[in-house]
Amino acid sequence: MDCLFCKIVVGEIPARKLYEDDQIIAFHDIAAQAPVHFLLIPKKHIATLHDLDAETDNALAGHMLFTAQRLASEQGCQDGFRVVVNCNDLGGQTVHHIHMHVLGKRQMHWPPG
């Protein structure tokens, strides 16, 4: 298994977890870009957004988004936060296992730069 996030899922690599259930894990980003910066990943390996299946992954994608919303609130981001999902190399994806970056507790700018 070469996937960094799959290794976190099975416990081979430690992570500072915020949340875990049977489908997803949320953990603090090791290179935080905001006072609140965590990643939310599915336990199922899905390489990119292009690899999500509308029939089999629809509920999972919704679960990830609603969990991001709840965890951001729990982390004190009621005034706003950003959710980023990079796709493939050109989109800035460095680990090819879909994941959401959730950033908050600082002013976000657009374009991000």
Both structure tokens of 69 = 């919303």
* Residue-wise DSSP of 23-86: SEEEEE-TT-SSSEEEEEEESS---SGGG--TTTSHHHHHHHHHHHHHHHHHTT-TT-EEEE--
Strands lying side by side in the sheet with 17-20 = 17-20, 24-28, 36-42, 100-104, 81-84
**Cα(100)–Cα(68) distance, integer angstroms:** 8
Q: Please say if 96 is a catalytic residue.
A: no
Pick the catalytic residue: 37, 99, 101, 109? 99
Catalytic residue annotation: 99
